[in-house]
Amino acid sequence: MTFDRRNFLQTSLAFLSAATLTTLPAHATDSGGTAQELRVGFVPGPYADEFKTGVEPQLRKKGYAIKYVEFSTGLEANQAVYRGEIAADVMQHEVYLKSYNDRNGTDLVGVVQVPTPPMGLYSNKHHSLAEVKPGARVAVPNDPVNLERALKILQRIGWIRIKPNPNPVDVTERDVIANPAGIKIVPLESGQAPRALDDVDYAAIQGNFAIFSGHKLTDALALEEMTPPYINQVVVKASNRNARSTQDIVEAYQSPDFQRAIRSNRFYDGFRLPAYFGKE
């Protein structure tokens, strides 16, 4: 299945212009019986397309009718999972999920990782990292978990140094202990970073938001070295971990069909692949 970037962007924008969430029904199986509706939540990014490409066809064969539920924020998606309004969401990594559960007293769990685009450093004003000058404004996510990821990128390219912090949810700008490049760090909501590119010199943008805004991973001047805890995953309520529908979703993601669908599409080049993909 070929990825159509224009169609993807138009669809995603339509989702965002709606209210808090919108549901789009997928076709049910042609088995003649009554299909079981399965509602799955997404935020802007490539995850709904991954699901449509390689997961939905397998679930349809098992008798499910998929409804895609698009949310503007991960907070809304997780609330819907916890309330039982959707069976699962696909948009967050384990570090974020743990932070969310700790803050909200919830019991959501990850059941399978999914191909995930890395965070990258982008610019509309500069063509290389070497063009950085003292006073350059660098946008970073304002939530601690993703701020840590951005600061690690800036440290790896030599612009700053940060003190070791074993708990990503506690990271703040005060963890920057040296700033040899003389940059000015500008915290922003993650979803605002792509729109800020005309106002800042550089921006650390999460992969899903970069793709949603039309950027390619190859446009990034630097990409994070993504480790397994930051690969996004399918999340369900703990009580549904062993539900038949959950197991069917997991099996579909881990299937050879899904792996072929992702590996055969150049759009996914540069995505961090889960361990179950193995080596080519």
Lowest mean pLDDT among 137-151, 155-169, 183-197, 245-259: 155-169
Angle between helix 256-263 and 244-253 (nearest 10): 40
Positions of CATH 3.40.190.10 in the chain: 5-116+229-277, 120-225
Nearest 10 degrees: CA dihedral of 161, 166, 169, 171? -20
For residue 170, the model assigns a pLDDT of: 83
Q: What is the distance between the terminal CA atoms of the chain, rounded to a whole angstrom?
A: 19
- Looking at per-residue pLDDT, the higher value among 170 and 159 belongs to 159
DSSP 65: E
Q: By the 8 A CB rule, do 91 and 146 touch?
A: no
Q: By the 8 A CB rule, do 207 and 120 touch?
A: yes
What the block records as the tokens of 89 is: 């969401």
pLDDT digits (tens, 9 = 90+) for 135-149: 999 999 998 889 999
- Looking at per-residue pLDDT, the higher value among 225 and 34 belongs to 225
For residue 280, the model assigns a pLDDT of: 66
Tally of CB atoms within 10 A around 85: 13
Backbone angles phi, psi at 230, to 5 degrees: -105, 5
For residue 7, the model assigns a pLDDT of: 45
Q: Would you tell me which CATH number, out of the four given (3.40.190.10, 2.40.50.220, 3.40.1350.10, 2.30.30.30), belongs to the domain 5-116+229-277?
A: 3.40.190.10
- Across the chain, mean pLDDT equals 89
Fold of 120-225: D-Maltodextrin-Binding Protein; domain 2 (3.40.190)
Q: Which residues contact 105 (CB under 8 A, 6 or more apart)?
A: none
CA–CA gap between residue 157 and residue 270 (Å, rounded): 19
For residue 28, the model assigns a pLDDT of: 41
Closest CA to 274 of 241, 228, 210: 228
Q: Which residues contact 235 (CB under 8 A, 6 or more apart)?
A: 78, 81, 88, 89, 90, 92, 97, 108, 109, 110, 111
Q: Label each residue of 107-168 as H, E or C.
A: CEEEEEECCECCCEEECCCCCCHHHCCCCCEEEEECCHHHHHHHHHHHHHCCCCEECCCCCH
Q: Return the residue matching tokens 């998606």.
A: 77
Average pLDDT score over residue span 185-203: 95
- Looking at per-residue pLDDT, the higher value among 10 and 83 belongs to 83
pTM to 2 decimals? 0.81
Q: Return the residue matching tokens 């959707």.
A: 86
pLDDT digits (tens, 9 = 90+) for 2-50: 444 444 444 443 343 333 344 444 444 444 567 899 999 999 889 999 9
Q: By the 8 A CB rule, do 64 and 245 touch?
A: yes
CA–CA gap between residue 115 and residue 262 (Å, rounded): 8
The share of the chain scoring above pLDDT 90, in percent, equals 78
